[in-house]
Amino acid sequence: MVHDYSPPVAHLLSYDAVKPVRLPDWPDYVSEFGLTAEHVPALLELMKDTALAEFDPDHPPALPDYVDPETAWCAPIHAWRSLYQLRSLAIFEDHALDLLQSELDEWAGEDFIDMIKHWGPPVIEPVTQLIEANLATENRILPLIEGLYELPQQFPEARDRIVAVLLRLLETYATNEIDNNSFLAIGLLELKATESADLLEQAYEAGQIDEFIAATWPAAQIELGLKSESDFTAEELTPAVPPDIQRMREMIDAFQRRDKPNAFETGLPVDPSAFPDSRPPDFDALLAGKKSAAPKAKQGFGGPSATHKKSKKGKKKKR
């Protein structure tokens, strides 16, 4: 059910279609619509109004006159971008996870990463709390972890604080979801956190980090500057392919081979004697000694009268 909104927040339900641009190239919603802190509650409601993203514009439900059914799905995105410009940390409350599972998950994922990394130190605490409360869940918080470890790109002074946060979150690796551990490991490697080596090694040995997502433990040591590539074999540096991905690769290979011509079809010189004879024993003798007579045509089943008959049934008209 779509909630009812009043101006200026209501204008976001008929605003232009959202554009896939990154910060800082979002529209200036605050200036354009005169948004202020008093509009934060309504913007939060609009941000959470994921029903807007789920209805079919060709068959919309009953909507208020101010709603444009063609662009209304964009309104929650306009709302969280507006909240970012108003610097409302309420964006990163529990409803953020609902957005990361909704029809807007790809938009939310990219925008949340951008918002966290450009926001700076004030956002660290609420995002950390949201991650920590959901470390055992599957995949939903990956954009939040990524935004957190990318924050020092814009705010280098926050690097040590972020490393400390990532270490604390990884300490519970035994109960964390493996993908979450793997993203925490990526963050520690990107930040060159040598102090994380012992904890990372423990998590790797426990099988709680997916090396196909992060890196093998030998490769991680090289990334941290603790070892050099010459210390390991190529096999040690190559991550094991997960069974599901290996099966998918085999299916793709089989599909691609199906459409490739064989040597006989391409006219390449091939010695037929190199291939085993799959014919049954005495096949040649059987073929020479017995010749089947052509079957007699039956009336109505392949005979002349059936061959020349035309169906009188026409095609049904599409409604």
Distance CA 10, CA 68 (A): 11
User: 70 pLDDT exceeds 90?
Assistant: no
- 45 and 151 both lie in a single domain: no
Residue 102 makes CB contacts below 8 A (sequence gap 6+) with: 50, 53, 54, 108
Domain that holds residue 244: 136-250
Residue 150: closest CA among 46, 27, 49, 22:
22
pTM value? 0.75
- 89 and 149 both lie in a single domain: no
Average pLDDT over residues 6-12: 95
Average pLDDT over residues 166-189: 98
Is 249 in contact with 241 (CB distance < 8 Å)? yes
Distance CA 200, CA 138 (A): 20
For the four alpha carbons of 81, 86, 89 and 90, in that order, the dihedral sign comes to: negative
- Of 257 and 78, which is predicted with more confidence? 78
Distance CA 189, CA 117 (A): 17
- 3 and 113 both lie in a single domain: yes
- 142 and 100 both lie in a single domain: no
Domain annotation covers residue 151: yes
- 197 and 223 both lie in a single domain: yes
- 41 and 104 both lie in a single domain: yes
Identify the pLDDT of residue 255.
73
Which band of pLDDT confidence, cut at 50, 70 and 90, is reported for residue 270? low
